[in-house]
Structure 1
Amino acid sequence: MGDAIDAMLRPGDALLVVDVQNDFCPGGRLPIPQGDRVIPVLNRALEAARARGLPVYASRDWHPAHHPSFAQQGGPWPPHCLQDTPGAAFHPDLNLPAECIIVTKGTRFDKDQYSAFDETGLAEELRRRGVQRLWIGGLAEDVCVEATALDAVGLGFGVALLPGGALPVTPEGGEQARARMARAGVVLHPG
């Protein structure tokens, strides 16, 4: 995959790693089954992007206590990725480069923000840097990865999902998310 992604990267590309945080990996508060399996794939993509001098971004959920997505507030999820906790930290095996730009989301008290583009200014940042196409991977494929990819397409960016670089909450959810992303124009199997 490292050589394959390296061959596909070109000027105008950027890499966006979505929410590879401890709480979404095994042992976390809201673990994606085998979520840490994406880390070696993402690390190879991060190295390839860095070697080519392409911009690298990493989004993170950064929830305040009593966030509206939490079940106690009527949301669908258990508390997770609480600000300044070990669960909100990026997984220690993820090799984010020092120049990686962190995109913080999920901080609002009135709504959730699944997409890394939802009121973060990311689209403006990418345009300022001349990014035309995003390579996206991370967790969870059928929640935040999908929302981010669909928003990116809607904002006019080309989008490719990193092969093997995203995992869903459920297999069925992953199939449905991939179908929705493909219909929107996300490239699922670059080659």
Structure 2
Amino acid sequence: MPTRPDIHAIDPDARLNLLRDALQAAAGGDRQAFETVYRMTSAKMFGICLRLLGQRADAEDVLQEAYVSIWNKAASFDPTYASPITWMAMITRNKVIDRLRRQRSEGPLDTVERLDELVAPAAFGASFEFRGERRRLDSCMERLEDAQRQLIEVAFFEGRSYAELAEHRGIPLGTVKSWIRRSLARLKGCLGL
């Protein structure tokens, strides 16, 4: 039996190409290619789930839901508009938000606060899955000041909460929240939403 290459030993460009090719092959129903996608990305996607949900069991459940969705939507992946990791992270975040909404109806305060921290950037970004919109978003993002643009990117693409951003950047929590809210409002205005 042939041995599998160590995917972590591959240079970053080759790794990106391998992931892109594997995701596109999975779109055609190639289960072995999907296994490669999973091996290359599951740690990152699990990290997003765990960071946002806080409970290992919930994170594992949501991770499974995310990969079922990734398998089912693989044909919609377009490498000209997003990297595989960005596309998969968006799907994973949406699954986390779905879980938090279900938990919200059960009412724990910390879940409501986490949902409020996630929904604005994620709901905003979810409308840009369509072809061509990414370029408009990039153009509008360029109009933001560097600090605000970086906060939006980290909040959305890395799944960081307001509190994590404040601590990491050394900025007061209230400032982070207002910068993100104002930046989202500017982006929505720029995009005509």
Q: Structure 2 length as normaliser, TM-score?
A: 0.27
* Higher relative strand content: 1
Using structure 1 for the length normalisation, give the TM-score. Answer: 0.27
Higher gyration radius (CA) = 2
More helix by share: 2
Higher RCO by CA contacts (8 Å cutoff, separation 6 or greater):
1
